[in-house]
Chains A and B, each alone.
Chain A
Amino acid sequence: MTVADVITAVLLPAGAVFCLLGALGLLRFPDIVSRLHAAAKAQTLGLMLILVGTAVQMPLRYAPVLLLVVLFQLLTAPITSQIVGRTAYRVQALDRGALFRDELADRLARDGTPVDERPPREDADR
Chain B
Amino acid sequence: MTVMYTVTLAVLSAAGLLTLLRLVRGPDALNRIVALDVVLTMIIAGTAVGMALREDTTPLPVLVVLALLAFTGSITAAHLIEKRAGLR
Residue positions of A touching B, CB distance < 8 A: 1, 5, 8-9, 12-13, 15-17, 19-20, 22-24, 26-27, 32, 35-36, 39, 43-44, 46-47, 50-51, 53-54, 57-59, 62, 65-66, 68-69, 72-73, 76, 79-80, 83-84, 87-88, 90-91, 93, 113, 120-121, 124-126
Q: At the interface, is chain A mostly helix, strand, loop or mixed? A: helix
Please report which residues of chain B, range 9-63, place their CB below 8 angstroms from some CB of chain A when the two chains form the complex: 9, 11-12, 14-16, 18-19, 21-22, 28-31, 33-35, 37-38, 41-42, 44-45, 48-49, 51-52, 55, 57, 60-61, 63
Q: Given contacts A20-B18, A23-B18, A54-B51, is CB(A76)–CB(B8) below 8 Å?
A: no
Bound-complex Cα distance A15 to B46 (A)? 11
Is there an interface contact between B49 and A39, defined as CB atoms closer than 8 Å? Answer: no
Is there an interface contact between A19 and B45, defined as CB atoms closer than 8 Å? Answer: yes
Q: Which residues of the other chain, A, contact B33 by a CB distance below 8 angstroms?
A: 84
Report the minimal beta-carbon distance from A39 to chain B, rounded to whole angstroms: 5
Is there an interface contact between B37 and A17, defined as CB atoms closer than 8 Å? Answer: no
User: Can you name the residue of chain A whose Cβ is closest to the Cβ of B20?
Assistant: A23
Bound-complex Cα distance A120 to B82 (A)? 11
Q: Which residues of the other chain, A, contact B74 by a CB distance below 8 angstroms?
A: 80, 83-84
Residue positions of B touching A, CB distance < 8 A: 1, 4-5, 7-9, 11-12, 14-16, 18-19, 21-22, 28-31, 33-35, 37-38, 41-42, 44-45, 48-49, 51-52, 55, 57, 60-61, 63-64, 67-68, 70-71, 74-75, 78-79, 81-82, 84-87
Bound-complex Cα distance A50 to B45 (A)? 6
Q: At the interface, is chain B mostly helix, strand, loop or mixed? A: helix
Is there an interface contact between B57 and A62, defined as CB atoms closer than 8 Å? Answer: yes
Is there an interface contact between B41 and A65, defined as CB atoms closer than 8 Å? Answer: no
Q: Which residues of the other chain, B, contact A26 by a CB distance below 8 angstroms?
A: 18-19, 22, 34-35, 38
User: Can you name the residue of chain B whose Cβ is closest to the Cβ of A16?
Assistant: B11
Q: Which residues of the other chain, B, contact A93 by a CB distance below 8 angstroms?
A: 28, 30
Is there an interface contact between A12 and B85, defined as CB atoms closer than 8 Å? Answer: no
